[in-house]
Structure 1
């Protein structure tokens, strides 16, 4: 006994989205549409977004160092140093706010261009060889293809633009803190094994 066929608009349980090799191939195919070449406008904006995000992280790191400097200035009761550090903190806050605004502006520009490129590409496929007739009349497993082109593309590009700045900075952040943790681990090893290291160095000096 064969199972009943899903009616129009009902999701097929066997066709649920999964993160697999097929998904990766589709995602890379979409990226080739969003970034047609290395010299395209989207690629240049993405590179600009990378530079802005790295500069923003550098400013945030400098802001994080200010509290420790404040303790030293207050401990020494240095009024001039306090004024200088306060001005520096205000400048860094303004710069950080400006970079964050510029970051969001570039992400919104990427969203508009990505949506335009992807929608035009899907429209070209939709009207090629009367595919629009096949999808709307003959096929029962795809509902409202015109609505999917307009709404699904908008949601996909919106989510991708929101994640863009976080995704591109993640490898650099992970690499930096991995290096810092490795340095910290080596320092701890040296502190724990200070006596054997000192004897070993002394033995080499005698030779």
Structure 2
């Protein structure tokens, strides 16, 4: 297991300066240190559900996630298997439907020279609109919980790209090319066999 200076990686990720070598990138062996930064802090129920759902999605691959906030990380801190995630926009569900173009990616992971970097950005406004479009009845009252579930599934999709060092997608499951609003908030969705294989063979760079 290799250890990296977190300050160096965070500087690269937050400035999206991708002219950087790959020799020192982490191999994704458990536990995975997930350093997150929010433009707007999600409500507590969203955070609880996001962590629960992500753990559920990754448990078959034996990936244990350690959550850290960007502002908690001090200069010189050393961590193993680091992935940086920035949540952009409003991560809080709204009761009324929002008229916003939901086309385009819900999140993206940076790449350079054909390699997938461990730096992802989740676009909360896109996720919120997609998830809200599938809600009805009593689900609306659980909006922030379902928003947390949706964010977890989008995040798991990006971790699949990072773990498998792949830009490709599978035909089914969380790692398919796109997830509908209904799939984002459904009671259950998993990785398919190919997605699980990529996660279980992480770190092959």
- TM-score scaled by structure 2? 0.24
Bigger Cα Rg:
1
| Higher share of residues assigned strand | 2
| Higher share of residues assigned helix | 1
